[in-house]
Amino acid sequence: MAEIHLKSLAHSYSAQPRSAADYAIREMDHIWHQGGAYALLGPSGCGKSTLLNIISGLLSPSEGEVLFDGQRVNEIPPEERNIAQVFQFPVVYDSMTVYDNLAFPLRNMKLHESKIRSKVLEIAEILELQPLLDKKAKNLTADEKQKVSMGRGLVRDDVSAILFDEPLTVIDPHLKWKLRRKLKQIHEQFNITMVYVTHDQLEAATFADKIAVMYGGQIVQFGTPRELFEAPNHTFVGYFIGSPGMNILDVKSCQGGVEFNGVQVPLDAELCQFLDEVPSNNIKIGIRPEFIHISNETIKGSYECAVIHIEDLGTYKILTLDLAGNLIKARLDEDQQVPEGRAYVSFPKQWLKLYVDEFLVEEAAQ
Amino acid sequence: MTKVENNKAWFLVLPVFLLVAFSAVIPLMTVVNYSVQDIFDQHTAYFVGAEWYREMLQDPRLHDSLLRQFIFSGCVLLIEIPLGIAVALMMPTKGRAASLCLILLAIPLLIPWNVVGTIWQVFGRADIGLFGWAINSLGIDYNYAANPMDAWFTVLLMDVWHWTSLVALLCYSGLRAIPEAYYQAARIDRASKWAIFRYIQLPKLKSVLVIGVLLRFMDSFMIYTEPFVLTGGGPGNSTTFLSQTLTKMAVGQFDLGPAAAFSLIYFLIVLLVSWLFFTTISHLDKAK
């Protein structure tokens, strides 16, 4: 059992990194607590797998430390780290039976065969692999193989964390759901720290208690799915989480708020004061399509838009609107009236977020 | 949709049919023709049935060289396959060193067979050959032209030098095809070096090894040029293999009938052993 602490960790694949762009992982501090179910979410190439391989020890970080329960493990090879890792493509030992595959890590530890047997049978039962135990591993289907590779991580008593590197990529959609639930059950049963790498927000949200969103080699936000949805810390989180993502508009600072293409959006005095002090010109506002208020007639503080497109998704509709030359998306629930041609939108204050240099400006009061 | 019979399609396979007929079927049938007749000249030929076959199967020359041939091929496989795997495992995986190793390995394969024989003929001589001289200087009496054991040793060494590269190159390509994740998973499962070899590398090499074993068996079983140049089959008959016995009979003594029967038996042995090997392996694969 372990708490995994990444201390001023950074990694570059080039020998002499010069600029920030040379880093696959930019300097970060992060703690994975013992027993948590975490997801590491981000687009391809953001450094998720690199980070995972650093934790498991397959890769040695070029800077910083990896601490397990406060102990530096940088120099400890993966085989001595008490960590299991499940890879994107299932790895099974083809020539062995399922039983032998599951027993393999234990045999390598030179455990007694009777102990191995009870442990293998226990895990086979949890993963529903008993009927396959005598089958050769290479004749299994992809999802069975992936269960076997998970099983090899679970049989070891000494495993303190299991790392999953997009383990469900090659699995059929209807089995994905089953396996994900299985993982969740296993997590509850064994109280093992689990870190699950994925680029699928749904997968992350169903598996994990807390999600770390990675972007450009950094963890830009670490929070519950709800936090990520309601208060994205970074414009990328806003854009990446949610379907469709957050509306993000480039704006300029003005008297009493911000403006774009002649549209003025008032902000709280506190935020206006903050904007007056920052030198940056990179100012954006963001609001989720779900939180945009839509009506058929003009009300106080609303803006007129042209309705460009309506997507009917059954239980709700997604409206694409033209607001002073910017396209924004808004969600319209089933029972709401569908505006024709023109719509009037307003942005409820508590859901309107201000971003300077891509990061959220938080109000002290909130 | 109904199928339309179009027998003209048969004309499309005609070129292949003709090619195979002229390159393989007709020459083989000629041999079959010789093996069942006693032919004196163009107009005088007697049908003898299975007589030549019976004679050949009882011929001690054939028995002796067949035995030698099996021992030779067995030794070749026992040495070259493990050695080739070992070389492939030790080769660097990337960079200049890898390219250099590949070129070095390819060199023996590019040398004409009779040149290989000549190289070793000179190389093994005690008076002017570096190898022969070095062995003799160590105090070991070595003379491949006089001592049958030395001759065998030299012929085997020559074949190992010539052909291990092929096995090594096949295995090298097989090893490169193993995804990195297997090695990573093995490290996390705490597999020893031996376990990695036994449970990851060897199973993944199986298909290239099947090809390697088949090629080396067939080639070594039909070997002719190199021992012929090196020892001429001697001393005595100690390194006379099947193909050499056959050539002596067909070209030297002009016994075309028995030689034809002999070569068909020879052909069937190669075919039979290869088939047995291949079906056994594929059968093991299907089990479970």
- Contact predicate A20/A26, CB 8 Å: yes
Q: Do B188 and A95 touch (CB under 8 A)?
A: no
Is A211 found in the same domain as A167? yes
Q: Do A78 and B187 touch (CB under 8 A)?
A: yes
Q: Is residue A186 part of a domain?
A: yes
Instruction: State the pLDDT at residue B110.
Output: 92
Q: Do B187 and A84 touch (CB under 8 A)?
A: no
Look at residue A13 and tell me whether its pLDDT is greater than 70: yes
Is A248 found in the same domain as A197? no
Dihedral, CA atoms, B69, B71, B76, B78, nearest 10 degrees? 150
> Domain with A62 in it: what CATH number?
3.40.50.300
- Residues of chain A in contact with residue B187, where contact means CB-CB under 8 angstroms, are 58, 77-79
| pLDDT 10s digits, A91-147 | 899 888 899 999 998 888 888 888 899 889 988 888 888 888 888 888 888 888 888
Q: Do B187 and A89 touch (CB under 8 A)?
A: no
Please list, residue by residue across B242-255, b when 16 or more beta carbons sit within 10 angstroms of its beta carbon and e when fewer do.
Answer: bbbbbbbbbeeeeb
Q: Would you place residue A1 in the very low, low, confident or very high pLDDT band (cuts 50, 70, 90)?
A: low
Q: Do B179 and A89 touch (CB under 8 A)?
A: yes
Is A185 found in the same domain as A260? no
Dihedral, CA atoms, A240, A245, A250, A251, nearest 10 degrees? -120
Mean pLDDT of chain B: 86
Which ipTM was obtained for this model? 0.76
| pLDDT 10s digits, B95-113 | 899 999 999 999 999 998 8
Give the mutation candidate from A108, A134, A139 for the B interface (greatest B CB count, under 10 A). Answer: A108
- B196: contact with A, CB 8 A cutoff: no
Q: Is residue A366 part of a domain?
A: no
Q: Which residues of A touch B (CB under 8 A)?
A: 53, 56, 58, 77-79, 83-85, 87-89, 91, 93-97, 104-105, 108-109, 134-136, 139, 149, 152-153
Distance of residue A177 Cα from the nearest chain B Cα, in angstroms = 24
Q: Which of A202-206, A353-357, B39-43, B89-93 has the lowest mean pLDDT?
A: B39-43
Q: Would you place residue B142 in the very low, low, confident or very high pLDDT band (cuts 50, 70, 90)?
A: confident
Q: How many CB pairs under 8 A join A and B?
A: 58
Instruction: State the pLDDT at residue A365.
Output: 46
| pLDDT 10s digits, A297-342 | 888 788 888 888 888 888 888 888 888 888 888 888 877 778 888 8
> What is the pLDDT averaged over residues B103-130?
88
- Contact predicate A266/A250, CB 8 Å: no
- B288: contact with A, CB 8 A cutoff: yes
Give the mutation candidate from B178, B182, B183, B189 for the A interface (greatest A CB count, under 10 A). Answer: B189
- B177: contact with A, CB 8 A cutoff: no
Q: Do A87 and B185 touch (CB under 8 A)?
A: yes
Query: Which of B185, B187, B288 is facing A136, going by the closest CB pair?
Result: B288
Residues 6+ apart with CB under 8 A from A350: A366
Two tokens, residue B265: 């038996």
Is A346 found in the same domain as A260? yes
| pLDDT 10s digits, A172-217 | 888 888 888 888 888 888 888 889 998 888 888 888 889 999 888 8
Is A209 found in the same domain as A107? yes
Instruction: State the pLDDT at residue A366.
Output: 43
Q: Is residue A151 part of a domain?
A: yes
Q: Is residue A229 part of a domain?
A: no
Two tokens, residue A305: 């838009």
Residue whose structure tokens are 């969740």: A184
Give the mutation candidate from A49, A50, A58 for the B interface (greatest B CB count, under 10 A). Answer: A58
Residue type, B95: G
Q: Is residue A232 part of a domain?
A: no
Q: Is residue A236 part of a domain?
A: no
- Residues of chain A in contact with residue B203, where contact means CB-CB under 8 angstroms, are 93-95
> Domain with A276 in it: what CATH number?
2.40.50.140
Instruction: For residue B62, give the 3-state DSSP assignment.
Output: helix
Q: Is residue A238 part of a domain?
A: no
Smallest CA–CA distance from A77 into chain B, residue: B187
Among candidates A51, A20, A93, which has minimal Cα distance to A214?
A51
Smallest CA–CA distance from B194 into chain A, residue: A108
Q: Do B184 and A87 touch (CB under 8 A)?
A: yes
Locate the domains of chain B by residue range: 59-286
Q: Do B188 and A83 touch (CB under 8 A)?
A: yes
Smallest CA–CA distance from B198 into chain A, residue: A95
Is A336 found in the same domain as A266? yes
Look at residue B288 and tell me whether its pLDDT is greater than 70: no
Distance between CA atoms of residues B246 and A30, nearest Å: 78
DSSP B215-271: HHHHHHHT--HHHHHHTTT-STTTT--HHHHHHIIIIIS--HHHHHHHHHHHHHHHH
Distance between CA atoms of residues B109 and A352, nearest Å: 73
Smallest CA–CA distance from A57 into chain B, residue: B188
- Residues of chain A in contact with residue B192, where contact means CB-CB under 8 angstroms, are 108
- B187: contact with A, CB 8 A cutoff: yes
Distance between CA atoms of residues A180 and A203, nearest Å: 8
Is A304 found in the same domain as A253? yes
Instruction: For residue A50, give the 3-state DSSP assignment.
Output: helix
Using only C-alpha atoms, chain A has a radius of gyration, in whole angstroms, of 25
At B63, which helix (H) or strand (E)?
helix B60-90
Distance between CA atoms of residues A323 and B126, nearest Å: 96
Is A266 found in the same domain as A218? no
- B199: contact with A, CB 8 A cutoff: yes
Is A267 found in the same domain as A159? no
Instruction: State the pLDDT at residue B124.
Output: 84
> What is the pLDDT averaged over residues B27-45?
80
Q: Would you place residue B77 in the very low, low, confident or very high pLDDT band (cuts 50, 70, 90)?
A: very high
Two tokens, residue A317: 């509709």
- Topology, domain B59-286: MetI-like fold (1.10.3720)
Q: Would you place residue A363 in the very low, low, confident or very high pLDDT band (cuts 50, 70, 90)?
A: low
Which residues on neighbouring strands pair with residue B76, listed in sequence order? none
Query: Which of B181, B191, B200 is facing A87, going by the closest CB pair?
Result: B181
Query: Could you count the other beta carbons within 10 Å of the beta carbon of residue A215?
Result: 20
- Residues of chain A in contact with residue B288, where contact means CB-CB under 8 angstroms, are 97, 134-136, 139
- Residues of chain B in contact with residue A136, where contact means CB-CB under 8 angstroms, are 288
- Residues of chain B in contact with residue A139, where contact means CB-CB under 8 angstroms, are 288
Look at residue B63 and tell me whether its pLDDT is greater than 60: yes
Two tokens, residue A111: 């455990």
Number of domains in chain A: 2
DSSP A66-95: EEETTEE-TTS-GGGTTEEEE-SS----TT
Residue-range definition of the domain harbouring residue A36: 4-14+22-223
